[in-house]
Structure 1
Amino acid sequence: MRTNLYVVRHAHSVYTPDERNRPLSERGCHDAKKVTELLKQANVDHVISSPYRRAIQTVEGIAHYIGKEVEIEEGFKERILSEKPVEDFQYAVARVWEDEHFSWEGGESNAAAQKRGIKATEQVLARFPGKNVVIGTHGNLMVLLMNVFDKRYDYHFWQQLSMPDIYRLSFDGTDLREVSRVWEG
């Protein structure tokens, strides 16, 4: 019995230092509609999201389409990179990928964020076996989840993600059987 997780990286957002309430940009809202149209073909049973507004906004269209509420799961929130804004975002992200246990002051290491995300993923797999579940999340956490199952999903893979992006992870129980990119934007 296959369980398909449609892991959705949120669409483009308007930058604000308020991570939880950062909204989608005009372009992001337009792309969120495309996400909904694309996922209509996936026979979605449930929609779960990070508590961050931009992730919810990206997947709420498909939840509305199937007549369900978006379930909020803290485990799918973005990794906290640092307590304070970093001077060079690309360098800061590259550095945490170099050493899975390294973290910037007040931030999460890859290992810590991965542990949180995998726990949430395992709970979804246990709750919804054989179902098609959309998960609204963020680029770093998305790749960290995929990296647990296959190390080729790494910093370089993260760099080539689009915003939004969608990957279908097909599981047999908790064994990942197939990964395929769904987004065509």
Structure 2
Amino acid sequence: MITNLYFVRHAHSTYTPDELGRPLSERGFSDAKIVAGLLLNEKIDYVVSSPYKRAIQTVEGIAKSLNQEIFIEENFKERELSKKPVEDFNHVITQVWNDFNLSWDGGESNITAQTRGIEATKKILKDFEGKNVVIGTHGNIMVLIMNYFDQKYDYNFWNELAMPDIYKLTFKNESLIDVNRICN
């Protein structure tokens, strides 16, 4: 049975140190309306999101258009790079992509984040088999999930993502059979 997962990287947010409560920016809200419009053409059955406000706000429009509730899935939250802010983000992120087992102080390694992301993905594939499911999430965890199924989705791919961005992953059972970018 074919299941389509529409991974939506959240729109632009207003930076605050509060990861959970960081909201979309004005531009982000405008882009979220575009996301909703693009997804309306996809016959969406369910909407799932990371618990982070910016991810929820990015997929809220499609959920409201379909009169659907948003199911929260903790394991689609962004990977924690480090407990404390890092001085050189580019260096730190490059290093974890070069070594999937590396973790910074209090942060998740790629393999740890990927494992929880795959656990959530497999749960969605089982619970919503044969359906079209939107998943509001974040760039790093999204690409780590994609990387599990095909290693061409790597640091360079992540680094080229737009904000927001939408990728439709088509599965037959738990096997990835196609990936398409949804854009206008």
Q: TM-score range by the shorter chain?
A: over 0.9
Other-structure match for 2:71: 71
Equivalent-residue separation in structure 1 for 2:45 and 2:123 (angstroms): 16
Opposite residue 122 of structure 1, the aligned amino acid is K
Which position in structure 2 is the counterpart of 1:101? Answer: 101
Q: In structure 2, the residue corresponding to 1:84 is in which secondary structure?
A: coil
For residues 114 and 150 of structure 2, what CA distance do their matches in structure 1 show? 13
TM-score w.r.t. the length of structure 2 is: 0.99
AA matched with 1:110: N
- Deviation per residue, 1:114-157 (Å, 9 max, x gap): 00000000000000111000000000000000000110100000
Q: Which residue of 2 aligns with 1:23?
A: 23
In the alignment, what sits opposite 2:46? 46
Q: How far did residue 68 of structure 1 move?
A: 1.0
Residue 91 of structure 1: CA displacement? Answer: 1.3
Task: Kindly provide the amino acid, as one letter, of the partner of residue 61 in structure 2.
Answer: G
C-alpha separation between the residues in 2 aligned to 1:115 and 1:41? Answer: 31
Cα deviation code 1:41-93 (max 9, x no counterpart): 00000000000000000001111111111110001000000000011111111
In 2, distance between residues paired with 1:104 and 1:172?
Answer: 36
Aligned-partner Cα distance in 2 for 1:58–1:154: 24
For these two proteins, the number of residue pairs brought into alignment is 184
Q: Secondary structure at the match of 1:14?
A: coil
1:136 matched residue in structure 2: 136
Partner AA of 2:25 in structure 1: S
CA distance in 1, matches of 2:183, 2:52: 21
Structure 1: 5+ residue runs without aligned partners?
A: none
Output the aligned Cα RMSD. 0.5
Other structure's SS at 1:20 match:
coil
Q: Which runs of 4+ in 1 moved over 3 A?
A: none
